[in-house]
């Protein structure tokens, strides 16, 4: 029997490993820029074409590489960052595994031009799919220039499942932001298809945050600073009024490395308990400095999951630091008794004048049950009660339901996509609102309970979707335009959805640099804050919508959520009747567009059994 186990060729092994490290063009940007940071670069320039599908280039002025190092850098597990296993517990660099460059070279056509300080000539190396095509001397500036072309050219399945250019560019911008926020002393440039998206100059941390997310965020930032034996925590958290439902900028960094940490996120959220509504997010930019021996970053190739040795203690330190920052912001200011230069308050001087005692005039003969002034004839009460109660009773008995409703709404085998077709023969025209949240109405089969907020979401969703498809929305012009600022990733998304935003009634003017002026909004949404509404729509669009129908559905749902009747709003009987009628005119009365139940029916038999 012949042997069946064999070693894979290096090219195949590299392609398999690349699937874990290089998932999309943004992964290439992350790995190459981190290498530039480790090389001590002061200026890093990123150029992408077709969101990295066609070409992606990273140019830096770092240390550069020698001819031998340039060739060896593309071998698996070749790295300058560590020498022995113990070095894994004292990492000070961004990368250390030696997997990034060979993984990139395995699935793309890579050209590297590099020169070290003091060398007259540099090296140009060309690699296609892990195969070295050429290596020759070249004249180039000090530093490294990586050009990655035709990503996944030899892995067509991976290339086929890349998202749209807008989505991939958004992911590149996200990776760019995470690195730029850690190194405010480094200059960054980002170009896409010949257009400059970002040009960040060196400066302070607050200035870097404002350069990335807009100047408006500066007024919402509260400084956080605490230094303990376990760790040092510094950065900024947002004021309570800066809370948003979606899209809040939330960043954790440890030793210059971006990380995701749900446990620490809860520490920040707990500090804002009772200060912001439930479900709202407050922006924060928090930086941890911890001894490298107290953390483990060698968990996942993306290095965003990090384990802390003293996690619970750091949680308490973080929570206390955030509460202290909020407390200092909310301090009651000292009363200033200095009145120099202020206008005098008039004071009564009894020597120069007198004040007469006020007098009250009234009509002692006035009788509210008589005519005007008590001298006229008796007036009938304005809200007199009809004494013909028998006729009122007969009218109530003979009243017919204004509209019929479907029966057996929640039959288990009923498809939720189709609206019910059978109508309930008996329905009460009177409804009861329970705790400002549920509408209760008697039907033939029992007691129907409707969630008023979810019902209004379904009603408005179908209305807005119809307006988008028919371009029939009306616009309410604002008296004064309102200005809003978007991050680079959000700016890419809004450029894609501007035509649909105009179809639903928004009037937007691009002011450049991610700033937009809102001069009009949908007429039906008058009273809602335009800036918050638009930000919610854009944040939903950032989630990765691709097709036009998907964009319209997302926008319609986001609008419906913002404009729907809130929980706790009191409705009169006519308003409840209208909502029920509109709900049952929808294509799906059972569920909201995101799959939440709208109503249920308590059968008559169950009610009798409970009371029996």
Report pLDDT for 333. Answer: 46
- Rg (Cα) of the chain, in Å, rounded? 34
Distance (Å, rounded) from C-alpha 75 to C-alpha 229?
A: 40
Report pLDDT for 315. Answer: 92
Report pLDDT for 346. Answer: 57
Query: Cβ distance 301 to 295 under 8 Å?
Result: no
pLDDT band at residue 10 using 50, 70 and 90 as cut-offs = low
Report pLDDT for 201. Answer: 93
Q: What's the chain's average pLDDT?
A: 79
Distance (Å, rounded) from C-alpha 314 to C-alpha 265?
A: 12
Report pLDDT for 266. Answer: 92
Place of tokens 């009660």: 385
Query: Cβ distance 450 to 598 under 8 Å?
Result: yes
pLDDT for residue 1 is more than 80:
no
Of 220 and 488, more confident = 220
pLDDT band at residue 405 using 50, 70 and 90 as cut-offs = very low
Report pLDDT for 318. Answer: 93
- pLDDT tens digits, one per residue of 362-373: 788 877 776 554
Query: Cβ distance 287 to 234 under 8 Å?
Result: yes
Q: Which tokens sit at 600?
A: 């249920």
Report pLDDT for 533. Answer: 80
pLDDT for residue 378 is more than 60:
no
Q: Give the contacts of 322 (CB within 8 A, at least 6 positions apart).
A: 224, 237, 267, 268, 271, 272, 284
Sheet holding 432-434, edge to edge: 432-434, 438-443, 446-451, 599-603
Least confident range from 61-75, 291-305, 333-347: namely 333-347
Query: Cβ distance 200 to 210 under 8 Å?
Result: no
Report pLDDT for 200. Answer: 92
- pLDDT tens digits, one per residue of 223-250: 999 999 889 999 999 998 888 877 788 9
Of 139 and 352, more confident = 139
Query: Cβ distance 328 to 315 under 8 Å?
Result: no
Report pLDDT for 425. Answer: 45
Distance (Å, rounded) from C-alpha 400 to C-alpha 394?
A: 12
pLDDT for residue 462 is more than 60:
yes
pLDDT for residue 447 is more than 80:
yes
Of 73 and 58, more confident = 58
Report pLDDT for 381. Answer: 47
Instruction: Write the Ramachandran bin of 435: left for phi over 0, alpha for psi from -120 to 50, otherwise beta.
Output: left
pLDDT for residue 5 is more than 90:
no
Report pLDDT for 388. Answer: 63
Place of tokens 């749902």: 557
Q: Within a 13 Å sphere around the CA of 63, how many CA atoms are in the beta-carbon half?
A: 10
Place of tokens 């025209």: 429
pLDDT for residue 53 is more than 70:
yes
Distance (Å, rounded) from C-alpha 73 to C-alpha 589?
A: 61
Distance (Å, rounded) from C-alpha 416 to C-alpha 407?
A: 14
pLDDT for residue 146 is more than 90:
yes
**b/e burial code for range 576-600 (CB count within 10 A of at least 16 → b):** bbebbebbbebebbbebbeeeebbe
Instruction: For residues 59-76, give the mean pLDDT.
Output: 88
Tell me which residue of 122, 125, 169 sits closest to 147, measured CA to CA: 125
pLDDT for residue 406 is more than 50:
no
Report pLDDT for 116. Answer: 92
Instruction: For residues 556-571, give the mean pLDDT.
Output: 84
Distance (Å, rounded) from C-alpha 125 to C-alpha 136?
A: 7
Backbone angles phi and psi of 98, in degrees to 5: 75, 30
SS (H, E, C) 423-464: EECCECCCCEEECCCEEEEEECCEEEEEEHHHHHHHHHHHHH
pLDDT band at residue 555 using 50, 70 and 90 as cut-offs = confident
Query: Cβ distance 460 to 583 under 8 Å?
Result: no
Of 73 and 331, more confident = 73
pLDDT for residue 340 is more than 60:
no
Question: H helices of 227-332, where?
Answer: 262-271, 311-329
Report pLDDT for 488. Answer: 77
Instruction: Write the Ramachandran bin of 64: left for phi over 0, alpha for psi from -120 to 50, otherwise beta.
Output: left
Instruction: For residues 490-514, give the mean pLDDT.
Output: 81
Place of tokens 């120069």: 352
pLDDT for residue 573 is more than 60:
yes
- pLDDT tens digits, one per residue of 519-552: 888 877 766 788 888 887 787 766 655 566 677 7
Q: What is the dihedral of CA 321, 211, 37, 40, to 10 degrees?
A: -100
Report pLDDT for 154. Answer: 86
Q: What angle do CA 296, 297, 299 make, to 5 degrees?
A: 95
Tell me which residue of 229, 288, 230 sits closest to 256, measured CA to CA: 288
Report pLDDT for 608. Answer: 84
Of 112 and 503, more confident = 112
Of 350 and 43, more confident = 43
In angstroms, what CA-CA distances link 286 with 78, 162, 275, 322? 33, 32, 20, 10
Of 100 and 386, more confident = 100
Q: Which tokens sit at 389?
A: 């109660």
Report pLDDT for 337. Answer: 52
Query: Cβ distance 305 to 260 under 8 Å?
Result: yes
Strand partners of residue 46 = 58, 190
Q: What angle do CA 136, 141, 144 make, to 5 degrees?
A: 70
Report pLDDT for 386. Answer: 53
Q: What percent of the chain has pLDDT over 90?
A: 25
């Amino acid at each position: 029997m012949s042997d069946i186990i064999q070693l894979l060729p290096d090219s195949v092994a590299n392609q398999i490993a690349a699937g874990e490290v290089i998932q999309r063009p943004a992964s290439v940007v992350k790995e190459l820029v981190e290498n530039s940071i480790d090389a001590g670069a002061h200026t890093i320039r990123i150029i992408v074409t077709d969101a990295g599908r066609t070409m992606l280039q990273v140019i830096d002025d770092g240390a550069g590489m020698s001819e031998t190092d340039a060739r060896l850098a593309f071998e698996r597990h070749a790295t300058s960052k560590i020498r022995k296993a113990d070095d894994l517990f004292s990492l000070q660099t961004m990368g250390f595994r030696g997997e990034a460059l060979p993984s990139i070279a395995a699935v793309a056509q890579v050209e590297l031009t590099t020169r070290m300080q003091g060398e007259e000539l540099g090296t140009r190396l060309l690699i296609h799919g892990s195969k070295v095509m050429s290596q020759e001397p070249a004249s180039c500036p000090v530093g490294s220039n990586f050009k990655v072309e035709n990503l996944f050219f030899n892995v067509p399945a991976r290339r086929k499942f890349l998202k749209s250019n807008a989505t991939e560019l958004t992911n590149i911008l996200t990776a760019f932001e995470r690195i730029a926020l850690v190194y405010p002393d480094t200059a960054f440039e980002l170009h896409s298809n010949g257009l400059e998206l970002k040009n960040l100059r060196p400066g302070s941390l607050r200035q870097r945050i404002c350069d990335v997310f807009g100047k408006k965020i500066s007024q919402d930032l509260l400084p956080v600073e605490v230094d303990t034996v376990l760790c040092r925590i510094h950065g900024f958290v947002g004021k309570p009024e800066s809370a948003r439902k979606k899209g809040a900028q939330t960043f954790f960094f440890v030793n210059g490395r971006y990380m995701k940490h749900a446990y620490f996120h809860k520490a920040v959220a707990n500090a804002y308990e009772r200060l912001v509504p439930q479900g709202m997010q407050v922006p924060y930019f928090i930086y941890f400095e911890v001894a490298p021996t107290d953390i483990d970053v060698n968990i996942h190739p993306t290095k965003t999951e990090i384990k802390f040795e003293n996690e619970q203690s750091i949680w308490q330190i973080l929570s206390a630091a955030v509460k202290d920052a909020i407390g200092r912001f909310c301090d009651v200011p000292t009363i200033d008794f200095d009145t120099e230069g202020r206008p005098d308050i008039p004071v009564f001087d009894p020597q120069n004048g007198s004040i007469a005692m006020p007098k009250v005039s009234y009509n002692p003969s006035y009788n509210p049950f008589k005519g005007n002034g008590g001298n006229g004839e008796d007036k009938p009460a304005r809200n007199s009660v009809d004494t013909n109660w028998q006729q009122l009773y007969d009218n109530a008995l003979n009243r017919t339901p204004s509209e019929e409703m479907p029966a057996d709404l929640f039959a288990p085998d009923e498809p939720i996509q189709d609206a019910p077709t059978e109508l309930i023969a008996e329905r009460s025209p009177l409804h009861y609102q329970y705790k400002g949240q549920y509408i209760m109405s008697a039907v033939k089969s029992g007691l129907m309970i409707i969630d008023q907020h979810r019902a209004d979401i379904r009603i408005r969703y179908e209305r807005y979707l119809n307006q988008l498809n028919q371009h029939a929305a009306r616009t309410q012009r604002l008296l004064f335009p309102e200005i809003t600022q978007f991050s680079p990733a959000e700016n890419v998304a809004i450029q894609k959805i501007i035509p649909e935003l105009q179809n639903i009634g928004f009037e937007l003017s691009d002011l450049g640099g991610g700033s937009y002026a809102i001069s009009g909004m949908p007429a039906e949404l008058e009273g809602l804050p335009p800036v918050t509404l638009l930000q919610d729509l854009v944040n939903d669009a950032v989630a990765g919508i691709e097709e036009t129908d998907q964009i319209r559905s997302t926008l319609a749902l986001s609008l419906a959520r913002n404009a729907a009747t809130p929980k706790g709003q009191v409705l009169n009987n006519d308003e409840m009747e209208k909502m029920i009628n509109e709900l049952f005119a929808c294509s799906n009365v059972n569920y909201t567009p995101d799959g939440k139940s709208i109503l249920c029916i308590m059968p008559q038999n169950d009610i009798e059994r409970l009371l029996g």
